[in-house]
Structure 1
Amino acid sequence: MSTADRYAHRKVNATIVLTDPQGKPLAGRPVTVQQRAHVFGFGCTAPDMGEEASETRELWTQLFDTATLAFYWGRYEPIQGVTDRERVMHSAHWLANRGVRLKGHPLVWHTVKAPWVDDLPLSDAEELLRGRIRREVSDFAGIVDSWDAINEVVIMPDFVNEPDGIKNAITRICAKKGRVAMVALAVEEARSQNPEAQLILNDFDLGPRYESLVEEVLAAGIKIDAIGLQSHMHKGFRGEEQLNDICNRFARFGLPLHWTETTILSGDLMPSDIEDLNDYVVADWPSTAEGEARQAEEIVRHYSTLVAHPAVESITYWGFDDGGAWLGAPVGFLREDGTQKPSYSALRDLIRGEWWLDSAELVTDSEGRIFFDAFAGSFDVISGESHVTVDLPAGPAQVEMMFPS
């Protein structure tokens, strides 16, 4: 398959017909077509909203069109009844006003949970969890309509990180109810507040246990909208063969695949014998010139492979810059001082270059038609002082637009 052909399923083959108000084709009319957005979700964790981060936000918006907002229960509601709603809502509106699509992460997780729930009777803890789900989905409906409904449920009933090993309320609820019932809890409560929400089952376990869970969830009639696949590649890039194998194994369920958490290092790799990434603790983990060159190459390979796979609907990178990055790992597109690594321009050359219609100058034929191929998305069609915005999905599309004669 040629390089051009590998993305054919992502492209719209557009025919736009320009007419005057009476329906007469406008022949010989100069037209400019400019892309506004992709159908495919190119995402990242939401940018810092601090005043000092304005330049970082500008670089973020020049690259990504989808943001993941943090809704970790333990941070969102550190004290019962005291939430971070105002700050998160401000971030959500700032991004949405710039055309950024939003996802919340996560509604249910056994880590970064609210510690004040742990000592309560399980029945009370479960009711609070249900109420937390309903509250967040209801409060943000219409602006955040996509959610990681439940995170890492494969290990949830067995998870131990408390001193006495038994106090984690979310783990204990899951152990009592079972994994499938826990997924049902998250999905049903979220749907009760936003029936049209996109709800994602998300996990870092990309092996048979997760496949079995997906099978069981679907067999139980639980409606999930996408399968989330995490890939923190702190021990090295997975490579094209492994990425395609993972996609093929999960594509069999007939649901879109979201690569929800991607990281690729620009510094020394984590030792291969480390099992839990959280166990690797170092005083300093710098980005290096050699690592940055490697990261740029691997970013291109990773995105090119996943965008080429027809089951993949979105990719979310986990950490735009190295300041405050997860585990202190050098994974961002910007160094701690805010300067760009080679990976930034490498990915931008794909998302806003090879995969983007920046500006096409066309002229209508005798039947008022223009033709163009581009990655599916939203486009401005401009002629003279007038313009029309149109959303075009992948495949052949013919649209008629009325312009002043």
Structure 2
Amino acid sequence: MRFPKLAFIFMFVGCLVVYLTYVKRHYDDSKPLVSDQLPQYRMDTHKHLTSAHVASEHFQYGIMFDAGSTGTRIHVFKFQMEPNEAPRLAHETFKAIKPGLSAYADDPEKFDGYINVADVLQSKEGLLTLLKVAKETVPETLWSSSPLMLRATAGLRLLPGEKATILLDKVREVFSESLFFYRPDSVSIMDGTDEGALHGTETPTVGMLDLGGGSTQITFALQDEKTIQTSPIDYVTSFQMFNITHALYSHSYLGLGLMSARLAVLGGIEGQPLPGPQELISPCLASDYSGQWEHAEVLYTVKGQKAGEPIYESCLRKVEKMIYKRVRKTEEVKDMDFYAFSYYYDRAVDLGLIDEITGGTVRVRDYIEGAKKVCNNMSPGGIKETPFLCLDLTYISVLLQELDFPPDKELKVCYS
């Protein structure tokens, strides 16, 4: 794996979901098995079993699909099982594809074609490609006992009407034929706490930040009783694992993902096209810029504001006004290590702050200074490929400070 330590932390609660939902159940359940339960795990292997079969009894697998707004990712977890010990994450296999499921909201039949076997073999994209990864990773003898799950994030929550339901039903059809252990409720859209927990933590000293297209999440293990008492009740969750109770601060801010925030700063309203030929005019764009931008199935015409005061200062005021009092400050974040993913990573790569393959460490101040540099040096005709970089960086720098991260705070920024 590219980031062994990071992968363990990043997948901790994902593994926990699989463990609590399926693996722990077949340890604790003393009732006779029925057809929809996992086979009982046993360590009393018999001499007549083959060595391969005996080896497979020491492991269990869990398969998690993470369906985001910009792509779908598969994580295949391999748990080492030993008698009288908690399951241990032995390995994780990862693969991602683009676009996200929401790209097929208007044409479910296109989605069906997208995952047609012939198409997959030719294009090597789609859910069947990811399922193929799982089948290549999990021994065939364990397919029927390996739970298969999909959790969708804000990209689907933002879809109007029943579009999300239709898409998830299509996914269920595919999964039901996969030969893995599957139940219809294994495919769903996460609520805010779940979405933060997917990027959960292993230790009390590590936190996670994720900036998607439609929402942004913050998650960390609580250490200060004061934070537990003063936080909103839906920001704090607790769970028991291996007879230890963990308190987790986790919240997903829907509408504050990078793409949704970009629209709000530009002056648009989520899901509402502009009447007639109106345009969104913003000081966060180069004065000579004019173009079209699509978000949540709506196409917008956007233009830069006529030259006046420095772009950064004008853009900063717009961003600060948009985000004012929409996120909570939490002092506890100042004193622990944080990992940051998704658009935090993308924009750090755009600035040349980190290596595209290995990631790296970025200070909040680096985003601030990067925003100033990009905004105040947008030359006419020179920003066609990255017209929104000034806006995006300004938003990221303000968001982090609103969450109470000081300018000198270091973040470990990695590809997710």
> Do the two structures share a fold, i.e. TM-score over 0.5?
no
**TM-score with structure 1 length normalisation?**
0.28
Relative contact order, CA 8 A, sep 6+: which one is greater?
A: 1
**TM-score with structure 2 length normalisation?**
0.28
